[in-house]
Structure 1
């Protein structure tokens, strides 16, 4: 076993596994993105979203302002409280419609906010739940602050977008002006003395088209910038709060931990029942028969005792293996380096282990790291057809990183029945990450990232 001290980074081949996939739906093309933007469906959808935002935001602004002023004015009569709660509830409904619009036109993946949880039935528990809900107030805030932004985005997008298309398509409709008006083209300059300048020559028409294309390209990315701001507003004010999202994640992780613990207990019970317990029962029966034959046939009794001695050795070995599967003593006593070397020695292919750790992480993290490598090496033994493998462990900041490589046939996926899905869930439960790069034909690289947690 050797140690490394150089700086470690995640291989570039794994970067695509750690990033979110592009949800734009547009495959790579030979035309650069800035040039094809005006013609992409995404730009037109975002333009439609900005055009719809103005009338919708006017209605929402009026409603939100009316809710605030009416409830504040009637607060002294106590009617303002249920009126405010009713207004906040309607704001939640409008928020749901806005999220649906953002999903359809902006391609957003946004969850609904946390539901109301009134403590009991009746009006007052419901009013209390509405007023205590942070998402209700955020959605009211959205109705008030989205209006001025929608006015600016609507105006700028409409002016630049229509101007760009009119100029870019000027050669196609320029004939309308001299045919139905007294102007030979678009007038750029005119005064009371009759002096005027029109775009009517081929050179001027071509120049107008070029300017229109430039304006159109700029308008496309202006629209995308406005749409991105809308995404931030919808995600920040109409989606679940970061605290609520974290609570949901922790509840899910707790369920994963409970399920994993229950599965481990069932596995231990099955191993004990089918392995050591069965051998001990056979051992007891064999010793009982040997006891009965001790006086009648000492040679047969000695043979049976010898067989029982062999069963005892096998039972002890199975118990040691079971104890090692629960938590190996070498991990507790000597740390990851020695424990992973022990696991590698039992793999069916040669494994090189490199551990570069100056200190030990938290015991729970150390155990998860050990079982992660154990599971990956078992997959290599059973499925990879590899001739060699490498295990590397190092620390990067406050994270513990594990990398397992093999030169096998590749094709490993979390849904391939190799236990990677369960391994991913187990790492997710402690804020860990599992990244897999396993193209068909190999090689396979798996990186696990865990919190350090001293």
Structure 2
């Protein structure tokens, strides 16, 4: 999961806010806007449609399940039950589409059926064994009673609110065509009360305004239950979602490992290997000149000695990039301090850990800070930075801050995007707050595993 400053501004733009704070499309408070917003009318339409769909789904589910259960003494009951579950899955697909259109709730389809073999019997067995199918049946049974309740409440508040609010516009119909002064509030054989004078009409309209303003929030509460039902019963199970997530994370880990191997191969080929090949050639030439020109041979050996030192330094840098020895020997505090010392910007490091995390988490934390410090050196134009590491419950927290120009964006396809993918592969989170002009704060969160 990643979030950057640009995405936050994009969200505010979609919500009608402006950078200058005017918010022209949102001058009215939310409570006054709600009755005329599209969201309230869409939720009202969703509630109205729930009743006929709920009754249809309930009747279908009860009829087919009862028929199938009654026919289980014969073989026919099994395909009838499978047809009942398949039909409920069809209702579920309709409900996900309706929720997406009217509630802006995008729920993925549940895990598909996986018959073990071809043929009708295998498909029937897969339908009956699928937990998602039985969750769809439960949804079909629960929708009708809930839709009846929500329909009555929504229609009552919505209709009475608007009727009373607009009462001053149409109350004249009663004396003109109904033979009475207005809406009858009370009546018996001796006494009747009508809402017919200006004060009573005004109070009625004011009451209608309160009911109308409350109706969208009541609708929102009702449709919240619908959202829970759709998300909990018609979407993929937590186990299936977790399997998909782990499969995706495994792909990211494999791709990252392959990229690291290619980088190591490239660094070896272009750096230390090329230098060692040149060194071998120089030593061969020095060997040939040893008898003819000892002084030239000595100079060539001296130059070769310098090349050996450079090659050794390159190999040390390469090994440090794979896994630094200081991290293994002394932990994050010393390793991050060494990183900060090599940064071109003064960086203050503070590590507050009572114990060391697992080696894998420690390594990811190290390379996360390493890449963020490289970004500070190359792109930030900062004059100072800081690195803070601490533990919060079962999470390892990292925060790297600089006072540079800002503008870092995860969605721009930069190194931050790759870093976010690496963290996500181990259930980590990367949050980037980098407004134009700075400062930039990058917070990484990793699961804590004891070393």
TM-score tier after normalising by the smaller chain length = over 0.9
Deviations 1:35-71 (A, max 9, x none): 3221211111000000000001110001111121011
Following the alignment from structure 1 to structure 2, what is the Cα–Cα distance between the partners of residues 221 and 23?
24
- In structure 2, the residue matched to 1:333 is 329
Equivalent of residue 392 in structure 1, options 367, 384, 388: 388
- CA distance in 2 between counterparts of 1:220 and 1:179 reads 34
Kindly report the root-mean-square deviation, in angstroms, between the aligned alpha carbons of the 2 structures. 2.0
Residue 372 of structure 1, CA deviation: 0.2
Counterpart in the other structure of 1:10: none
Q: Which of 31, 35, 38 pairs up with 2:28?
A: 31
Quick one: distance in 2 between partners of 1:102 and 1:91?
Answer: 16
Q: Quick one: structure 1 residues 24 and 443, their matched pair in 2 at CA, closer, same or farther if it must change by over 3 Å? A: closer
**Which secondary structure state, in structure 2, belongs to the residue aligned with residue 361 of structure 1?**
coil
Report the equivalent of 1:6: none
CA distance in structure 2 between the aligned counterparts of 1:24 and 1:217, rounded to whole angstroms: 24
Name the structure 1 match of 2:285: 289
Q: Partners of 2:16 and 2:146 in 1: how far apart?
A: 28
Structure 1 89/22 Cα, relative in aligned 2: closer, same or farther at 3 Å?
Answer: farther
Match of 1:5 in 2: none
1:270-349 mapped onto 2 (5 Å cutoff): 270-349=266-345
1:212 aligns to 2:208 (yes or no): yes
Report the secondary structure of 1:224's partner residue: helix
Give the distance between the partners of 1:145 and 1:250, measured in 2 at CA: 32
Shift of residue 82 of structure 1?
1.4
Secondary structure of the structure 2 residue equivalent to 1:401:
strand
* Distance change (3 Å), C-alpha of 1:307 and 1:419: same
Look up the match of 2:355: 359
Does 2:51 match 1:59? no
1:206 positional shift: 0.3
Report which stretch shifted further, 411-420 or 395-404.
411-420
- Quick one: which of 399, 402, 405 aligns to 1:406? 402
CA drift of 1:15 comes to 11
> How much does 1:26 deviate?
6.0
* d(CA) in 2 for partners of 1:348, 1:205: 75
Query: Match for 2:107 among 110, 113, 121?
Result: 110
What is the CA deviation profile of residues 116-165 of structure 1, one whole-angstrom value per residue up to 9, with x for unaligned ones? 11112111221121112111110111011110000010011101110010
Q: Work out which of the residue numbers 81, 91, 101 in structure 2 matches 1:94.
A: 91
Instruction: String of CA shifts for 1:234-260, please: whole Å, max 9, x gaps.
Output: 000111111111111111111111111
Structure 2 equivalent of residue 141 of structure 1:
138
SS at match of 2:412: coil
TM-superposed CA distance for 1:185, in Å, is 0.7
Q: Could you state the TM-score of these two structures normalised by the residue count of structure 2? A: 0.94
Partner of 1:253, secondary structure, is helix
Q: Does residue 255 of structure 1 match 2:251?
A: yes
Moved over 6 A (4+): 13-18, 20-24
In the alignment, which residue of structure 2 is the partner of 1:128? 125
What is aligned with 2:20? none
Q: Does 1:444 align with 2:430?
A: no
Distance 1:338 1:329 in 2: 11
SS at match of 1:442: coil
- Once the 2 structures are TM-superposed, how far is the Cα of residue 25 of structure 1 from its aligned partner? 4.8
Mapped partners of 2:13, 2:129: distance in 1: 35
Query: Judging changes above 3 Å, is the alpha-carbon distance between structure 1 residues 59 and 22 closer, same or farther for their aligned structure 2 residues?
Result: farther
Residue 17 of structure 1 contacts residue 437 of structure 1 at CA under 8 Å; is this kept in 2? no
Name the stretch that deviates more: 323-332 or 195-204.
195-204
The corresponding residue for 1:157 is: 154
Indicate if the aligned counterparts of 1:379 and 1:418 stay in contact, CA closer than 8 A. no
Gaps of 5+ in 1: 1-12
Number of the residue aligned with 1:381: 377
Pairs aligned (count): 440
CA contact (8 A) 2:5 2:433 kept: no
Give ranges in structure 2 of 5+ residues lacking alignment: 18-22
Give the Å deviation of 1:97.
1.0
Deviation at 1:14, TM superposition (A): 9.2
Q: Secondary structure at the match of 1:408?
A: coil
Post-superposition shift, 1:32? Answer: 2.6
Aligned with 1:349: secondary structure? coil
Where does residue 193 of structure 2 map in the other structure? 197
Contact 1:17–1:435, Cα closer than 8 Å, also in 2: no
